[in-house]
Structure 1
Amino acid sequence: MNNKILEVKNLQVQFKTSMGIVQPVSGVDFQVNEGETLGIVGESGCGKSVTSLAVMGLLPSPTGYIAEGEILLEGKKISHLNDREMRKLRGNDIAMIFQEPMTSLNPVFTIGEQLSEPLRQHTKLGKKEIRQRIIEMLKLVGIPRSEEIIDEYPHQLSGGMRQRVMISLAMLCKPKLLIADEPTTALDVTIQAQILDLMKKIKRENQMAMLLITHDLGVIAETCDRVIVMYAGQIVENTDVRTLFNDPKHPYSQGLLASLPKMNERKQSLYSIKGNVPRPDEIPKGCAFSTRCPHVFDKCRTERPPLLKLNNQSCRCWLYEAETQEVMSHVK
């Protein structure tokens, strides 16, 4: 677990819009080690998916681009590779599971035709060998009748089966890093549990690294080793999963955990964080969370806090300024 598979350093992503330049991701630093699952959690609009698209080299060109920082895969810089060079990596060394399989799978091609693409691009297998590999992978992810389903179309499968197809598509070439962007959002609770168990099993058997993006803290608790909490395009807390649930530091992390329903408490209404995540062009001058924070004071409204090191976690909050003088430029 010491080998660094992915390193993201000071990542800043910008988009050109009719209103000017906006920056949905600002100065993000993290790493994912071999055999480790790192979770990214936060509300919609916090920059989670944009970060994953930057890692995959899938930012919408030419409007979206990496303005500063770098992304390294096993020490090799991949943040400014051209599309041809990234295609050699995607599906082979790095793969992604998208949150809605029905929009990710092409409705006019069979399952077999779509799953054969990465094998044709990254291997020298013949047609019969490719078909056999696909059938074996479909069986591995728990799809019955794999010999028949390979010739069927996405609309003929249930949501859970389509998500299993997406997992098999991502796993065909045994990537070193798997990015899963809200992989269970559109599924019911029972299927969610099956998909998460399947992903953990495949990750464990292949000793690969996983970057799991979600807004569901239950998924984080069940699946991840470490977690980073994002808000308004920045990391506001970085720690291991146990510490986050037992001792969250940032007021935003505390608010997310407080909003979870508790089995032993009966309340008429759940706690919710007031307000909304600001748009990238409307982030406050000081701390991005200052307009929603219950502990806000004057300095929060005028100065943006750095990421501070607190024992085994880091936190972007002025409340802990007196506890540490170590400002983190890169999260280790």
Structure 2
Amino acid sequence: MSTGHLTIDLGAIVANWRALDAMSAGHVETGATVKANAYSLGAAPVSRALAKAGCRTFFVAAAEEGAAVRQSVGDKPRVFVYSGHMAGDTDMIGDLGLIPLLNSIEQMTRHIEALPGHPFGIQLDSGMNRLGMEPEEWFAVRDLVLKQGPKLIISHLACGDEPAHPMNAQQLDQFRAMTDGLQVPLSLSATAGVLLGPEYHFAMTRPGIGLYGGLPFAEASPVAAVSIPVIQTRDLEEGEPVGYGNAWIAERPTRIATIAAGYADGIIRAASNNGTLFAGCKPCKLVGRVSMDMLTIDITDLDRTPSALEILGPDQGIDALAEQAGTIGHEILTALGNRYQRRYRGAP
């Protein structure tokens, strides 16, 4: 193959979901966030695997994503839409039984008028200032909302991946103040909130990145492996440059392998001259700039020229790669391009 291989371990995703589910005591339900095409790993196969494992509730960012999940899991699992009921979404929400998480009075009005009696949830802003009704807006319409019977009320933590951050307790208190006494299922926690402990769990958790092998769930099983084929090798003398802008100069006789992936395939350009790939368990330095379709790798110390090099796998996970590029594991996953030959394994 002339393009890289992306191997996705569905069994590991299921194992991560079960591990996060086990952290919630009592009658807490564990859903799954499969937005952004399940963090680019494939919403259809990921959702099917999780549904077979017992997941009954899925969360997506937009109604269009919900349509793909609904097609994959059938009619029974619930599919909530974080962006709510946007203009133009009415037919899709109604026909597919999606459940919008209404973020404003405007969305609530649109939903009640366009789809009277159709299920909905509510998103509250407990301090992140991103999506959801703020306290004043919420208290103005709360009684009307409750008469309509919301299926779930959620909010989202801004600093959940920093356990000691005072914002966590502040948002917890605000969420409780906005929902005190309500007989409606509540949800505050994604992956980071699950790890903060039971007081953050409420009736539903909705992990995302932890399902896919990323921090802050340090015990997560790795999910994605990326192997990239070698196109060509060449031998350089000391002092010869590599790549655009002569960004790297050989300091010794060097063998360079040019491999078939670049920033068009989600290899973050900021990793230029600072990335690592692996031949088996042997590290090889990414040298020169990350190009659109190619990377140049120093393989001088290998005993033989490999047919491919691995940038994600057992020796390097998404967060280690993210650190090299000055980003987070979420971006590493969601940036993975469409040119990889995808393989799925470990489906239940």
TM-score range, shorter chain: 0.3 to 0.5
CA radius of gyration, larger in: 2
TM-score of the two chains, using structure 1 as the length reference:
0.35
TM-score of the two chains, using structure 2 as the length reference:
0.34
